[in-house]
């Protein structure tokens, strides 16, 4: 898969979910927007979980740990470039390594992710 395919297939979803890592709690409007974008993708809750853990969290958690990081908003172009670069290399041992450490990279936003997944399940009429 090339970079353009990644952007076409995941870009909107990644950018919609990026606010989970900002320094403020997402509003109901933020969650509604995220759900709207998620529903455009044919992904189960389990597939969304692994996308969160492997495709996004390794990149996004670095923003949280960086002193110089922007916490109010992200530069979408720069963020997309980082996400694409990460995902282009996400194969073999790297994928297994990130799966192993995904608990660490997701722990700071886990409560927000769980709240979002509960809202997605309700919107889909699934059991929480």
pTM over 0.85: yes
Report helix, strand or coil for 25. coil
- What are the pLDDT digits (tens) for 52-108? 999 999 999 887 665 555 555 678 999 999 999 999 999 999 999 999 989 888 999
The predicted pLDDT at position 82 comes to: 95
Mean pLDDT, the chain, rounded, equals 90
- How much is the pLDDT for 74? 79
Torsion of CA 77, 83, 11, 127, to 10 degrees: -140
The pLDDT, as a whole number, for residue 116 is 98
Tokens 């670095």: give the residue. 62
Other C-beta atoms closer than 10 Å to the C-beta of 70 total 13
Quote the pLDDT of residue 65. Answer: 61
- The pLDDT of residue 52: 97
State the Cα–Cα distance between residues 117 and 70, nearest whole angstrom. 25
Count each helix (H run) and each strand (E run) in the chain, helices first.
Answer: 7, 0
């Amino acid at each position: 898969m090339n970079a353009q395919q990644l952007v076409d297939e995941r870009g909107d979803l990644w950018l919609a979910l990026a606010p989970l890592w900002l320094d403020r709690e997402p509003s109901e409007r933020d969650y509604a927007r995220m759900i709207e974008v998620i529903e455009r993708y044919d992904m189960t809750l389990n597939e969304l979980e692994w996308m969160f853990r492997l495709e996004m969290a390794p990149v996004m958690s670095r923003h949280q740990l960086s002193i110089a990081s922007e916490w109010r908003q992200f530069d979408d172009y720069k963020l997309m470039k980082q996400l694409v670069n990460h995902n282009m290399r996400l194969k073999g041992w790297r994928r297994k390594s990130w799966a192993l450490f995904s608990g660490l990279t997701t722990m700071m936003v886990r409560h927000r992710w769980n709240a979002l997944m509960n809202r997605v399940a309700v919107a889909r009429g699934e059991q929480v």
